[in-house]
Structure 1
Amino acid sequence: MRHLPACSSLIPGSGANPMSRPSSGLSIRHLLRRDVLLYVAARVGQSALVLWAAFTLSFAILYVLPGDPVSIMVNQDGQSLVDGAELAKLKAEYNLDKPITEQYFIALWRVLHLDFGRSIQSGQTVASALANAIPPTANLAFCALVVALIMGVGLAVLGCLVQAPWLRTLLLALPSLGAALPTFWIGLLFLQVLSFHFTIFPAMGNDGWRSLVMPVATLAIPTSARIAQVMSRSLALVWSQPFTEAIRAKGVSRTHLMLVHTLPNAAIPLLTMAGLIVGGLLAGSVVTETVFSRDGIGRLAQGAVSAKDIPMVQGVVLVVAASFVVVNLIVDLLYPLLDPRITLSGKRR
């Protein structure tokens, strides 16, 4: 039986960790079992705890910072634009005259009722500001995710299939380089070369697909690097398993073996980093939208933090945390179905 050294040689001792192909998933009947319901309830409880922790941490950090948002709003060039009575009235309107513990529980109670309050800076409701900011950021993040998946998975597959050792080494080194590059540096480089020097794409704005190219590339490069790192090792593990050698012995081409049999099994670990990918894209959008002057969650967060706009900051934090939590919750619930070797306790069988 022929061996497949090209990809299995990427990791030391790859043959020492045999992975058998999963034979069957969990049936619908199993989904109604008591242990499954407890598993789901535990995951939902953990998700709620993460959201509460994110809210509490953002509240605490904002109150540690010097000054208060109302004073920042009414001051210009070091001079207050309102008198003391008006300032006290504004503070009372936003409950800033109350003890910090009382402010916390008032804010928490409102959030539990999906009332995020009003922006101290603009007076606009936080919900409406978020509703306007989420679509452009979601569009940017989705496009960047698609490009990152194509680049990352493609690079990992190519590095696994290529025969020349020097080329394989080069391909496997690219993800480390991409992951090390700061997002803002990539964005500034694109601006300098593709916008200011060659004037191929617009430097800023949200108008049309051309304004989306550089921001998407800026977000996709570091994300694709992390995907390629995970996929390279996963492909190497699956490629070295006995079932791949058995299929290869039947005369199946390397490309067919990779795309049809190896890649689907190797892609499962990507689910475990789905939440990290979403979190990275949303965090990267703060830098990217600032560099390219795009409207979205990132610029909204930057302006809110600069003005210490507490309701707006907490709204942004909860939206980002909820995105991260929902993705991870879906992954946690789907993982035992997609990989039956994972039990409901999270351990391999």
Structure 2
Amino acid sequence: MKITQSISSPTELYREKLLNLLHHLAIRLASGLLVLWAIATLTFFAMQQMPGDPALAILSGTNPTAEAIAEVNHEYGLDKPLAVQYGIYLSHLLQGDLGISYSQRLPVVEVISQQAGATFQLILAALVVTWVLVFLWTLSTAGRRRWISGLGATVETVAAAMPAFWLAILLLAIFAFGWRLFPVAGSEGIRSLILPAFSLAVPLAGFIGQVTRQSLEITLEQPFILSARLRGLSDWSVRWRHALRHSLLPGISLSGWAIGALVSGSVVIEVIFSRKGVGRQLFQAAQSQDMPLVVGITLVIAVTYVIANILVDLVYHLVDPRLKGDDQ
């Protein structure tokens, strides 16, 4: 009696991996849309509870009459029942219409598009600085002599505990007001980006470095690391080529959260450094009770956070060798 065993071809294995990845992506997209709907709903009803009359905010700077207030309420649909307003709000969101800014009299999409570039530059620069600091410091100190490793862990703990706004003020006092190496405020040129980027990156690097250090120290004790050392590889080569990939997985899983933290942290940093950006616009919109702009920026931040988490999850799925093994 012959026993036949079917062996999947490389093409079938690749197709199976691709289908698993697409299925995983579909689930994450569905959950992301649900999160966005929840955030949009909570933001809408939270803004309804804010004190003050939206019509007066729209007509700020004037002495409006009752007729003018009634006209504005009718124009913006503020005189309709709350359920109807919510339905109109969701229908506009589905069409990509975030409304008109009360304070700037411009479409919210246009206001955000004008400011998004500066915020994106800041977040990207901070993320790059974060990982450079994590790579250099963690690879240099983890798994070394006890006092070196302890010093590395202490520095990471102190960095993670630093409030970004406090660090920003300290960097301004030393490098801008004191030594005059960088501009105090503004958004022009690379030099104006360095201090804000480090203000956001240092606390985040401390937090991610703590997680990466623990994973790297565990990885350095694994048998495949000993095998690499026995083959004559240098210590730095073993760390960079073999241990780093495995120890980065926890840090990669936190990168989605890190991007969200950078986006939210950019609000304070852009205000402190008087930079252009979505965060500063959010601060000003909240001060002027500009509800459409507050809601629009909040939703854009939420979309950025959801997309970042989906992409990071896919990268984790591709990088983690255990997940690849499960697919096979």
Instruction: Please report the TM-score for the alignment, with normalisation by the length of structure 1.
Output: 0.85
SS in 1 for 2:142: helix
Residue equivalent to 2:49: 64
CA distance in 2, matches of 1:31, 1:176: 39
Return the offset for 1:224: 1.1
Residue equivalent to 1:124: 106
- Matched to 1:62, the amino acid is M
- Matched to 1:175, the amino acid is E
Residue equivalent to 1:20: none
Aligned partner (choices 13, 28, 33) of residue 43 of structure 1? 28
Return the offset for 1:73: 4.2
Matches for 1:172-251 after TM superposition, within 5 Å: 172-251=153-232
Residue equivalent to 1:327: 308
CA distance in 1, matches of 2:24, 2:169: 46
- Matched to 2:24, the amino acid is Y
* Preserved contact between residue 187 and residue 288 of structure 1 (Cα < 8 Å): yes
Instruction: Please report the TM-score for the alignment, with normalisation by the length of structure 2.
Output: 0.90
Aligned partner (choices 117, 135, 140) of residue 158 of structure 1? 140
* Preserved contact between residue 62 and residue 308 of structure 1 (Cα < 8 Å): no
- Matched to 2:167, the amino acid is I
Residue equivalent to 1:29: 15
* Preserved contact between residue 227 and residue 270 of structure 1 (Cα < 8 Å): yes
Residue equivalent to 1:17: none
- Matched to 2:44, the amino acid is F
CA distance in 1, matches of 2:271, 2:25: 38
Aligned residues: 318
Give the stretch that moved more between structures: 89-98 or 124-133. Answer: 89-98
Deviation per residue, 1:86-141 (Å, 9 max, x gap): 11111222222222222111111101111111101111001111111110000011
Aligned partner (choices 46, 53, 75) of residue 93 of structure 1? 75
Give the stretch that moved more between structures: 146-155 or 335-344. Answer: 335-344
Relative to structure 1, the CA distance from residue 27 to residue 335 in structure 2 (aligned partners, 3 Å threshold; closer, same or farther) is: farther
Aligned partner (choices 91, 99, 105) of residue 87 of structure 2? 105
RMSD: 2.2
Gap regions ≥5 residues in structure 2: 1-9
Matches for 1:241-280 after TM superposition, within 5 Å: 241-280=222-261
Percent identity of paired positions between Structure 1 and Structure 2: 33
* Preserved contact between residue 57 and residue 102 of structure 2 (Cα < 8 Å): no
CA distance in 1, matches of 2:234, 2:23: 45
Return the offset for 1:75: 4.4
Relative to structure 1, the CA distance from residue 224 to residue 94 in structure 2 (aligned partners, 3 Å threshold; closer, same or farther) is: same
CA distance in 2, matches of 1:233, 1:162: 13
Residue equivalent to 2:287: 306
CA distance in 1, matches of 2:143, 2:25: 40
SS in 2 for 1:28: helix
CA distance in 2, matches of 1:108, 1:93: 18
- Matched to 1:28, the amino acid is Y
CA distance in 1, matches of 2:177, 2:170: 10
Return the offset for 1:270: 2.1
Alignment pair present for 1:55 and 2:28 = no
Deviation per residue, 1:140-162 (Å, 9 max, x gap): 11111111110022211112153
Residue equivalent to 2:127: 145
* Preserved contact between residue 151 and residue 224 of structure 1 (Cα < 8 Å): yes
SS in 1 for 2:159: helix
Deviation per residue, 1:280-326 (Å, 9 max, x gap): 11011001000001010111111111122121111111111111111
Deviation per residue, 1:205-251 (Å, 9 max, x gap): 11212211211111111111122112101111211111111221222
Relative to structure 1, the CA distance from residue 253 to residue 38 in structure 2 (aligned partners, 3 Å threshold; closer, same or farther) is: closer
Return the offset for 1:42: 1.7
CA distance in 1, matches of 2:151, 2:204: 19
* Preserved contact between residue 182 and residue 191 of structure 2 (Cα < 8 Å): yes
Matches for 1:72-87 after TM superposition, within 5 Å: 72-75=57-60, 81-87=63-69
SS in 1 for 2:183: coil
Deviation per residue, 1:13-61 (Å, 9 max, x gap): xxxxxxxxxxx9x94311454x654433221110101111111121122
Gap regions ≥5 residues in structure 1: 1-23
CA distance in 2, matches of 1:348, 1:232: 28
CA distance in 1, matches of 2:317, 2:127: 24
**Higher-RCO chain (CA-CA 8 Å, sequence separation at least 6):** 1
* Preserved contact between residue 142 and residue 152 of structure 2 (Cα < 8 Å): no
* Preserved contact between residue 289 and residue 299 of structure 1 (Cα < 8 Å): yes
